[in-house]
Structures are given as C-alpha cells and as structure tokens.
Structure 1
Amino acid sequence: MRSSSPVASAALFACLLLGSGAVLAQAAGSSGSAAPAPYDFKANYTKYEYRIPVRDGVRLATTVYVPKDSSKKYPILMTRTPYSCAPYGSDRYSGRLAPSEDFLKAGYILVCQDVRGRNMSEGRFVEMTPHVPNKKSKNDVDESSDMHDSVQWLLDHVAGHNGRVGIWGNSYPGFYSAASIIDSHPAIKAASPQAPIADYYKGDDGYHGGAFMLAHNYGFFTSFKPQPNPTSEPSRWGDFRYSSGDAYNYFLKLGNLSNIAKTLGTPGNPYFNDLIEHDSYDEHWKPKSITPHLKGIRAAVLTVGGWFDAEDLPGPLAIYRSIETRNPGISNQIVMGPWRHGGWFRTAGKSMGSVSFGGNNSEYFMKQVMLPFFEQHLRGQGEAKIAEATMFETGSNVWRHYPAWPPAEAKPRQLYFQAGGKLDWKRPEASAGTEAVDRYVSDPNKPVPFTSYAAQGMPAEYMVGDQRFAATRPDVLVYQTEVLERDLTVAGPIKARLYVSTTGSDSDFIVKLIDVYPHDMEDESPSGPPPSDVPPPRQTLNSYQQLVRGEPLRARFRKGLDKPEAVVPGEVMALDIELPDVNHNFRRGHRLMIQVQSSWFPLLDRNPQRFVRIKDAAPEDFQPATQTLFRAGERASQLEMRVIEGP
C-alpha cells in the first residue's frame, strides 16, 4: 500500500495508483519513434459527481465519467481509494481513472470513489477496515457493504451501462478491490486486486516475521496522515529528507521507536503510533486480515503482483490462495511479473537497478492480459485465454503459463548448510567430538545495512541489490553451492529451518537467497542512466550477488506471532522462517548463495537483543550477542524450496 522509498516517490505513487497510460506511452516513445498524441479524454467523456448514500446514511463521494457516445451500452469499471479522486469539480478532468489509454478508447463508464472518511467522503476512516461477516443492522458496515450499496445506486442512477461492473485498484485500492467483492453484488462480474494488502501485520506493509518495517512505514507516514473530513484538498505528499543525509545514521542517532515517532509531530502520526504500539499479532491486527473472509465471490478475479514488490509481495499470493480455497468453481487467476510495487503502471518492466528483465513486460501485461480479462467478463468479447498462473521467470526472463501455482513439476528439495561455507543437497551427518557450528557476533549499535550505499528511505532497487558488501562483514554468515552444471528453477514458497542459539534473550535472524553470477559474466546490465529513484550507479554483473529473496524472524515470535516469549540464552531453537514465493531460474554457471545475519537496518527496526519492549528500549538495552548456527545431524540447518531442474 505504500510508496517505495524515497518519500518523494509517494507523490508519484499517489498520481499513479489509479493507473496511467502516459507512463507506458513514454516508454514506448523512448525507442526513437514519436509517441502518438494523447487521447482526448475530455472530448469523449462527460464527468459527473455524486454523493452516494449507503445503508448507514454516510455519503460517499463518487466521480463518474461516461462516454459521450450514447449509441451503445458500456460496462462500469470502478476503483475505490483513500488517496483522493481529485480533481473535484465537474469541469476538471483526470485521465488517470483507467488502467491505460486502451481502456479509454474501448469505452468504459469510469468510476472513482473516495472510501469512507477520506477526502470528500463522509464517515470515519479505519486503516484496513475489518470485515463484518454477520451483519445484523444497517450500522454493520464494511467495504463489502459500501461497495454493494454503491453498485446498486450506480445501476439505478447512471444511464448507458450494460449491467456489468468491474472493480480494480493498485496497492491500498487493491485491498479495497478484494474486500469489496466478499458476498459480492451479482452485477460485479470481474475484479482485479493489484499489489493488494492481505494482512497488514503479517508480511505486507507493517511487520515481517515480527520485525517492524521501519524505513518504509516512516517514509509513508511522513505524508499519509489523518485529515479533516470531508476535504476537497487532494493528498499532499511531502518530499522528506533525512537530516543526516541517509536513513541509516538518521534512525541510529534517534535510538528507539518512541523517539523516532516523536519526529512525526505532536502527538505524532496516530497511524504510525498504532503500528509500533501493537508490535505483536494481537486483537488489533487479527480482524484486519482480509484473507479469512474472501467468500461468496461471484466475480472472475485476476490478482496481480510484482516479484520485487518491497511493500506488498505476500498480499497478492495470499489473496489468490484464499479465493482459490474458499470459492471453488469461479475463475480465479494470478499474474506475477518482474516489477516493483505497482511497476506495471510506473515502468516498462524492463529492468531494476543493474538487473535486466528483457522486453517491455508492462506492455505485455496491459495489452495481453489485463485488457482482455475485463473485455471478456464485462463486455462479453472473446476469450482472454489467460492461464491460471501467468508467472514471469526471473533469471531466464520468460513468461511461464501454469495450470496451477505452485506448478506441479516443482518438487520439494532441501539445501543444507555445510562446513567451510558450502551448500549441498546432502544432509551432513553429526560427528562425535566435532562441533558443527558457525558463529558471529551481532551488535545492534553497528547493524548490517540493507543497501551498499547511503539510501534515503527504502529504494525499490534493494530487492535485487548486490549483496557483496554484506558478504564481507564478520557478522554475516555466507554459504554457497558449487557452480551449477545445469539450470535450476525455484518455483513457489521457500522455508528456512535454522537451528540456532544466542547469548541474548531475543535476536533477529534474517535469511537471504542470492543468485551469484559468474566472474566472467558478459555485461547484460541495462544501458543508459538509472531511473531517478535508484540511487546507486549501475554495475557490471561480473560476480554480482543478486538478492532473490530475504526475510526475517524475530526469535521472540518463534512460537507464533501472537506469542512473544523471551529466549533462553544458550538454548538451541528451531526457527522456521517463511520466505515469499519466487519463480527464479539459477542459470548454468551461476551459484546459489545463502546469507544469514541478525540485523538489516533500517529496513527493519533494531532488535536490542534483550527481551524488552522494543519501542521503549533504553540505550543500555542494545547489547551485542553471539549467534550460533548448527548444521549437522538432527540440527542440520536447511532451506526447503520447490525445484524444477533443467536438462
């Protein structure tokens, strides 16, 4: 739901969350051919503004654009957003309401609605509105009921529609797209939640493995704040700059999270305060999870995400799986491409940082997948012929079309940590009198950075960033395979089981899966200057250590994210760290690498390594700890993956 860092890009995100054909048009025009003149939206559409009453009497501000050609009927395509449907006023137009210019030309009745409590809509805004499964009165409202009532009002009051409604949205509007189709209105025929939040605490924007996503949330909440309601002013996104020049030193000097929160004003931003106050999976967070409630869905669903979405990578996968399980028989499909958060609208999807993904993958998705999906289900034109799982395979840079996800041909295999920093498929046996362990000292006052450069916030590029800087640190364990003799594809979820102990009473353990390029790799990195939001200069790929996936677990949550418990110093723990899915091809001549560390700053907040309330930790609570990883016999640390081996 958040803007990728730096916060300056939040302004871009706010503009593009409803989509923009201009981005792709500019990308196409950069090849040398002149870009076509933009579509004249105002000449072809008439704008209307309504206050739609829903069952509890609240009125939701809704903007409707209707094609001026009244000779035919049109489907309704709707998005619901907390980021404003501005500009307001019947004579002020926005061309951002369609996913692309192709949708404008095809002809849709475009609808944008401010969700309750935001911008021009009445009511009280609640972050990640809890679903009310058993509504007993008109005051039992949620996103599903607001959507149901709004759809019925539109059908009754807007002329020229064909009786079919679709909903879509990217990021926070992606959450609203999913939440709005529970027990859906029968007129809703198609829905596309894109980069949606599924569970605010578990793996999306808030916390990963119980560790707080500091840089991301701080950057977002410098701009996203409570607002007077209703207000005609659009969300204004500030260009926040860290006073020390980079986020690492800025947060390190501030100390604990309570001190950091104070810099957001007095009494601070209540959204940020809620995040750090509720630091376990408590009753504040559990009702906000949408996945248990995704039932009664009648619409065809196309869920979309990016393999390198630093904000909501788990969300699309969780929503797809939940709908698949709870709504047998409906059309339910997923697309995962080589994108950052919402990258299919913002970029051409050709590259990220130093890593190339081949062609214009965003154009492929928009023209060959998204438009045909809505045309089929909202207009009844043709058969989209979209696979159950349309998944971009990174590494080889090809689109794969699977009948299920994970694919049946991907078989579970375990990769074991070995002596001498090696990885192998064979479990190492314990030897009498031999201590099969590796150790490092983690110091929270000198945490491992998550980028090799002084970053402002959370740059999207870190998801494919070169990890050589971390591999040389004494507080990072490094293991790698021999050079691969044939291609190996990892397709599906990944789980690390670490057998570890610590001298502290709490610690973080971060596992990173890395693709190590050959030392004589031909330079396939993208040419030209890097995008403005990617700070480091592009590098050659010789010996490049590309991050493929990384995830933490805070040891206090080893028995459950709702069950924080102190660690017994020296006691061996089995930690299961779940990493989000990948579809990555490790090419012949490459190596697989795993790095293990206990800080990742300031992507994550600092664990003081004492079992204290982290947000209020005192300077003396931040203490070094010796971490021990076991790697033999019944304590053989390992990484379990689903693997497809090449010829």
Structure 2
Amino acid sequence: MFDVKSRWGQRITMRDGTSVAADLYIPNTKQLVPAIVIRTPYGRSSDGNVEQGRWFAARGCGVLVVDVRGRGDSEGTFTPYRGEALDGYDTIEWAAIQPWCDGNVGTLGGSYLGKIQWLTALTHPPHLKAMVPIVSPSDPFVEWPTGIPGPMHACWQFLVSDRVSQNISQVNWEQVYAHLPLLTMDEASGREMPFWREQFDHSQLDDWWRQTCYQNRFNEIDLPVLHISGWYDDEQIGTPLNFSGMTNQAPSEGARRSQRLVMGPWGHNVNLSTRLGEIDFGEAALIDLRSRELRFFDRWLKGQTNGIDEERPVSIFIMGKNQWREEAEWPLARTVYTPMYLHSSGSANSRFGNGTLSMEPPMTEKWDSYLYNPNRPVPFLTEPTSSQIGGPDDYSAVHRRDDLLVYTSEPLTKELEVTGPVKACLYASTSAPDTDFMVQLHDVWPDGYTQRLCDGMVRVRFFKGMDVPELVEQGSVRRYEIDCWNTAHVFLPGHRICVHVASSAFPKYDRNQNTGEPLGLSSHIETALQRIYHDAEHPSSIVLPVIF
C-alpha cells in the first residue's frame, strides 16, 4: 500500500486546442506506475471519484479523472458521444508520457463512461492496454429499437444539458413524458436541449447515428476487456453482446482469450445492495468487485502473473438459486433453446383470461386480440427519474388490464434453469400502419408475485431493419422475432412461467401513436386493433435458453 498524492485541476490540451480539466491521484513512490483514465460527464471531483481514485492509487496505479469536453471545468461544448473518441485518445496519450507513468494505460467507468471507452478504443491509442467498461450502452437502436429516443432519455439529457449537472427533481417528469409531440419534450421540461431535437432529424439508422456505433467493429479492437453489468441493468444488453463479440471477433487470439464477464443480480448501479426492489438476492449478491478490477489491471497493466489466465472467463449470478457460477463461455455451449408456445381459446386478455404456455405446439386455436390506445399505455414499472429503469418488479396488478395478453404455464414440478438470450416469435397483425409489440418474461411465484425477468420490443415499421422503415399492410399477418435479451434464473417448483404481450411499455419506450406519421413530430393518436395468432400455421412462442 502506498501513500497517495493528489493533484487537482490539471489541464490537458486536446488536438484542437480545447483544454479539459482533470484530477490526478498517484502513489507516493519513485517507481513508474501505470495509469487508469476515467472520463466522466458527471463531475470529476465527486466523493465517489475521489475515493475510487485514491483506492487504486494506494495500490500502485496513477488515476486520472477527467471532465469530458463541455462539462465541469472543461472547455468546449458537450454533445453526447460526439468527439469522445479523439478526446479519449488524446487523454490516454497525455497520461502515458507523464513523468510518473510507465506508459501502460487502462480505462475504467460505467454507463456513459463505459461506452466512450469503446469509441476511444476504435482510434487505437498506442498506450491503451486494457479496458473495464461497466454497464456499457449498446449501439443506437439496439436497446431502444424505436427510431427515436425514449422519453426517459429526455431526463438524462436535462441532467447534462449545461456545464454542471442540473436538478432533475424540480421537474414533473411524468407530465413531461406524457407530452406530445416528443420533439418538443424539452420545451415541456422547461429547458432547451438542442441535441434532443437534433435526434428527430435522424429517426432511422443512418450515418449520423453510425458515428457512435462500435458493436459492428470488434474486429478492430485488440484489447483485454473486463465486462461488468447486472441482469436488471436497463443497459444490460450491451455487456453480454460485447463479451461474445470480442471473444469471437477480436483480431488476435490473445485478445479473444483475455475477455472476462461478470453479471450480477444488479441494476444500473452495480454491486450496491443485496436487494433490488422487493427481491433480496442474499448475501452472495455482493462481491469484492473492485478487487476484481484491480487484479485485471495488475495482469494487463503491470504484467503480473496472478492466475487470471487460468480462471474461467465468465462469472454469472443465477437468480432463484441465488448463487454464483463460473462458466467457460457466453452464451453457454450446453444451452438447449426450448420453445414454449402461446395457447388460448381466444381470450388471453389479462391474468383472468384463458392464456396458457406449454411446450406443446398449437394446432387449431383462435387468435387473441386487444385494443391498444396510446392515451392509456401499459406501464413499465420504474421511477420516473431513476438511472435504473425497472427491476424485478411485481406485474400482477398490471396484468389485471385487458389491453394486454397473458400466457401462463402450469406450476412447475421441478426446477427449470433459464440462462442466456431469450427470444420471442410472434405472429401478429394490426389495424394500424405502424405500431409496437412488447414481450415480457415473468416468474409467477406461488403467492402471485409476478417478477419481471427480461423484455423486448419491435416497432413494426422497422420489420426489415432499423435503416429500412416501411409501413405495414393493415391486417396482414407477419412473423416478428423479438429479442428479449438475457437472464440467468431458476424457476423453482411451484412457480409458473409467464409471458405478457402488449403494445406499450411506457415510459421505457415512447408510445407508438399508430398513425405511421414521421416519428416524434405529431400529437395525433389512433387506437389500434392488435391480433396475436397461435395455431399450427402461426406457432407464436417464447424461446427459452434452458440449461440442464
């Protein structure tokens, strides 16, 4: 352990002359040490950043915590994700040539701080040797495949809309989220946000959005990466995709073998509590995560032989059993992808309907239908200003509504483990030229608690891809594959597997107004008649990654 020296308000000049501000924590030693770079839009001198910087410095790493361009004491204009790649490059290379640094640099940080590590890695800083991105967002339209940002993005953009973080608690966000058109939601919040409006000029995947994409370029990133997230992180999608992408596509065998994945029973703020919402995952839920990060940096920045190379690369928490397990890969090679089929006699509306779920394919069954009224959206249970969008919440009350369909299995007689990517296959039609279909997977406990596990959605105008919008022929039956992303959960005896199908999950996603008009620009709303088909020709199902 070292004593720590702090250097506040360091100035680093970017290639265009812009000066950014940084705080530096270095061990009190004459030996050269590696650097860890943390770049943040949330204030470099927060208590958490100071404590973290000193912790790593005491263990032999210099830590540089930087206000990104346009935030805090840094010059320039903050535009989310734009320009972060080159600024990251310049910051890493500045750190590498400091008199205390041995030339080895790693990066660390979560959420926005995680994604900008990936963007920086694509610029290939010569001294960047390892990354630890935590809860990294995916590419645009992967986790919100709607063509436009969800309402809760407005809250985040409000937070970072000036040089220091704004007070979001003074705004009635539920009222703001209900505002139409979405384009002027910033006006409804009381603050002009030019970037919010600019996004509506790009309501499909185009070159403007591709500037902030990285998940199609893993073959360009030749680095060891420690990937960390939680099953209930609202940006959980990115981390498993990034791990599997790097283990399969990184350009060198060394990089492919040096990927590590940690997935816990956590939300967006990882490893803070054993409890998330109403569910307590037990004492095992909390781990010494920071020491794992340190071991990773010790291996790849200091060259220590500390056993990481011999360990299994995947560490996942299995909910239901509430225990950790080490695995050799993700997804698990022994997965049996098992369809469970939707059934009913035509009245699956609400949990009081006759919707069932079983492994028997349907034969001759009547379709189910419901009316989707955007003025009365099905809620996605969440706090309106939370960085954590939803959790293992109880949907039993939501399932009383008749504008969603509920399909539930018989009580299980033995454990069933579902670990990996979940996908729904829906055969559906709509009376609208454009609409949405949402699917959620639940565990129904014997007492009726209906625990959300994972979910996904499709906006039908993007049936052919996020870069190819096309309105649907009204009444035509289409097959939709919907990624519900990942979970690791054991359904216990007496529990039931449940799937709900709806056309809204508000405010996680914006309400589809069912009109087919340009997205986000209109206040006009139509009600849509939705049908879900489940017969021999249209075997709607949810495909579960079953582990035996």
Q: Same fold (TM over 0.5)?
A: yes
Aligned match of 2:491: 586
Kindly indicate whether residue 395 of structure 2 is the aligned counterpart of residue 448 of structure 1: no
Q: Provide Cα deviations, 1:367-401, integer angstroms capped at 9, x if missing partner.
A: 3x222212222233422354321111112111121
Amino acid of the structure 1 residue aligned with 2:377:
P
State the shift of 1:296 in Å.
Answer: 4.3
Among 261, 266, 270, which residue is 1:339 paired with? 266
Give 5+ residue unaligned stretches, structure 2: 345-353
When the two structures are aligned, how many residues end up with a matched partner?
533
Is 1:366 matched up with 2:306? no
CA drift of 1:255 comes to 3.3
Provide closer, same or farther for how the CA distance between residues 222 and 114 of structure 1 changes in structure 2, counting only shifts above 3 A: closer
Secondary structure at the counterpart of residue 443 of structure 2: strand
Aligned to 2:237: 314
Residue 416 of structure 1 corresponds to 341
- Matching residue of 2:307: 383
Written as runs of structure 1 = structure 2, the 5 A alignment for 1:224-235 is: 224-227=160-163, 235=164
- CA change 1:424–1:293 in 2 (3 A) is same
The structure 1 residue matched to 2:393, chosen from 465, 484, 505, is 465
**Alignment partner for residue 479 of structure 1, among 407, 422, 443?**
407
2:529 to 602, 618, 626: 626
- Structure 2: which amino acid aligns with 1:158? P
**Partner in structure 2 of residue 114 of structure 1:** 67
Residue 314 of structure 1, CA deviation = 1.4
226 and 239 in structure 1: CA distance in 2 versus 1, 3 angstrom threshold = closer
Q: How many Å apart are 1:99 and its aligned residue?
A: 4.0
Q: How does 1:116-135 map to 2 (within 5 A)?
A: 116-129=69-82
Counterparts of 2:74 and 2:240 in 1: how far apart (Å)? 31
Assess, with a 3 A threshold, how the Cα gap between structure 1 residues 236 and 399 changes in structure 2: closer, same or farther.
same
Residue 101 of structure 1: CA displacement?
6.6
> Is residue 545 from structure 1 mapped to residue 455 from structure 2 by the alignment?
no
Q: Which residue of 2 aligns with 1:529?
A: none
> Which residue matches 1:427?
361
Q: Distance in 2 between matches of 1:588 and 1:416?
A: 20
- Mapped to 1, the partners of 2:54 and 2:137 lie a distance apart of 26
What does 1:142-291 correspond to in 2, within 5 Å? 143-159=84-100, 161-182=101-122, 184-203=124-143, 207-210=144-147, 212-214=149-151, 216-227=152-163, 235-243=164-172, 247=174, 251-252=177-178, 254-265=179-190, 268-291=192-215
Tell me the amino acid that sits aligned with residue 119 of structure 1.
G
Alignment partner, residue 605 of structure 1: 510
Distance verdict in 2 for CA 1:511–1:590, change over 3 Å: same
Amino acid in structure 2 at the alignment position of 1:598 = S
In structure 2, the partner of 1:352 is: 276
In structure 1, stretches of 5+ residues that fail to align are: 1-38, 88-93, 130-141, 228-234, 519-541
Identity rate of aligned residues, in percent? 29
Corresponding position: 1:439 with 2:342: no
1:98: Cα distance to partner?
5.8
Report the RMSD for the aligned CA atoms in angstroms: 2.6
SS in 2 for 1:464: coil
Equivalent residue for 2:22?
62
Pair 187,211 (structure 1): closer, same or farther in 2 beyond 3 Å: closer
SS at match of 2:245: helix
SS of equivalent to 2:244: helix
RCO greater where, 1 or 2, for CA within 8 Å and sep 6 or more? 1
Deviation at 1:479, TM superposition (A): 0.3
Structure 1: which amino acid aligns with 2:24?
V
Q: In 2, are the aligned partners of 1:372 and 1:383 still within 8 Å (CA)?
A: no
Equivalent residue, structure 2, for 1:53: 13
**CA 1:166 to 1:568, structure 2 compared with 1: closer, same or farther past 3 Å?**
same
When residues 293 and 61 of structure 1 are mapped into structure 2, their CA distance, relative to the original with a 3 A threshold, is farther
- 1:596 and 2:501 are equivalent in the alignment: yes
With structure 2 as the length reference, what TM-score do the two structures score? Answer: 0.90
Change over 3 Å in CA distance of 1:513–1:615 after alignment to 2 = same
Change (3 A) 1:567 1:605: same
Answer whether contact 1:202 1:209 (CA < 8 A) is retained. no
Q: Which residue of 1 aligns with 2:351?
A: none
Mapped contact 1:165–1:189 kept (Cα < 8 A): yes
The answer to whether structure 1 residue 76 and structure 2 residue 35 are counterparts is yes
d(CA) in 2 for partners of 1:340, 1:259: 30
> Contact 1:494–1:639 (CA<8 Å) still a contact in 2?
yes
